[in-house]
Amino acid sequence: MARPLPQDVKHVVSIGGGPIGAGWAAHFLARGYDVTGYLHAMPEEAVYRKILDTAWLSLEQLGLAEGASRERLRLTDNLEDAVRTADFVQESAPERLDLKQALYAKLGTLVPEGVVISSSTSGFMMTDIQMLCPTPERTVIGHPFNPPYLLPLVEIIGGKKTSPDAVEWARDFYAHAGKAPLVMKKEIPGFVATRLQEAIWREALHMVANGEATPEDIDIALMNGPAPRLAIQGQCMAFHVACGEGGMATNLDQFGPALKLPWTRLQAPELTKELRDRMVDGCDAIAAGRHFEEMAAERDRAIVGILKAVKAARAGGV
């Protein structure tokens, strides 16, 4: 196979013109790669470049790799031309299974032999995506967290027809490209981080539906409660350390029995029009008329600060 070593990748192809596809392109450009962005249609270019503008401000603050330049980006709406010399392909097409299956039927032939094709999907399993692909052994999930140019996590898993070496290669490549890869133990819907996020989302929707809290209340509680701690310690270690010398054993032995009800009492709430409107109105109130681009830039500035602080803390600098 013609697959390059992870550290020898030079040309990355990012498929998709939305925030994830453009965000991935920004990340790879900042790491010093040549990047080809594939768009469904060239009129998408204006929005694509706005996303890149926003991303680049933060990436410059974090520090660009040697040779990193936005001039190393090429955009095209010709799929065959885009992937002809690819060393790696990151697919971020819209979340429609039929669309992805049709796309992988093409990519399986067009992408150079052996080159890994990775999907950013947040909901589908690779076993389903690769169903029509003529070379499924080199297809994997590489699920990022949004924005992909800032948040390090990439969740990796193959499908039933994926070769284990493709998963291993993807892990090594993402690590070399500055990501924090997590190779999953098995294929599951929603992966790991999204499932944890969905649990918070489920509880939030219930509280809004029952009039127990507003969207603003929920965000205040998260931002000023568990969120800062989770940046340093994950949920498991946070509870382990919180219980002193007894650690997680104390946590589960003392509090576990009392938590059985809240662990099991709630299923997904029905998304009624009333709940939908409460969520929309609540988020509009928090936004207070600010445009998406303004809020995204504000978010990114804060994430950059957090990433720098966490890096310093882990290095013993604060």
Task: Please list the pLDDT of the chain residue by residue as tens digits (318 residues).
Answer: 578 999 999 999 999 999 999 999 999 999 999 999 999 999 999 999 999 999 999 999 999 999 999 999 999 999 999 999 999 999 999 999 999 999 999 999 999 999 999 999 998 999 999 999 999 999 999 999 999 999 999 999 999 999 999 999 999 999 999 999 999 999 988 889 988 888 898 889 999 999 999 999 999 999 999 888 888 778 888 878 877 888 888 777 777 666 666 666 667 778 889 988 888 888 888 888 888 788 888 888 888 888 888 888 877 755
Give residue 99's identity as a one-letter amino acid code: L
Stated length of the chain:
318
The listed CATH number (2.40.50.100, 3.90.320.10, 1.10.3720.10, 1.10.1040.10) that belongs to domain 193-287: 1.10.1040.10
What local confidence, expressed as pLDDT, does residue 29 receive?
98
pLDDT of residue 240: 82
88-91: strand order across its sheet: 73-76, 34-38, 11-15, 88-91, 117-119, 139-144, 153-158, 180-183
Question: Who's near 237: CB < 8 A, 6+ residues apart?
Answer: none
b/e code 74-112 from CB counts within 10 Å (16+ = b):
ebbbebeebbeebbbbbbbbeeeeeebbebbeebbebbe
What pLDDT score was predicted for residue 280?
86
For residue 240, list its beta bridge partners. Answer: none
Instruction: Check residue 231 and give its pLDDT.
Output: 82
Looking at residue 125, its pLDDT comes to 95
Residue range 6-183 forms a domain whose CATH class is alpha beta
Question: What are the structural domain ranges in the chain?
Answer: 6-183, 193-287
Residue 159, both tokens: 């499908």
Residue 8 has what pLDDT? Answer: 97
Identify the pLDDT of residue 1: 56
Tokens of 59: 């990436």
- Residue 181: phi and psi, rounded to 5, are -75, 140
pLDDT of residue 246: 81
pTM above 0.85, yes or no: yes
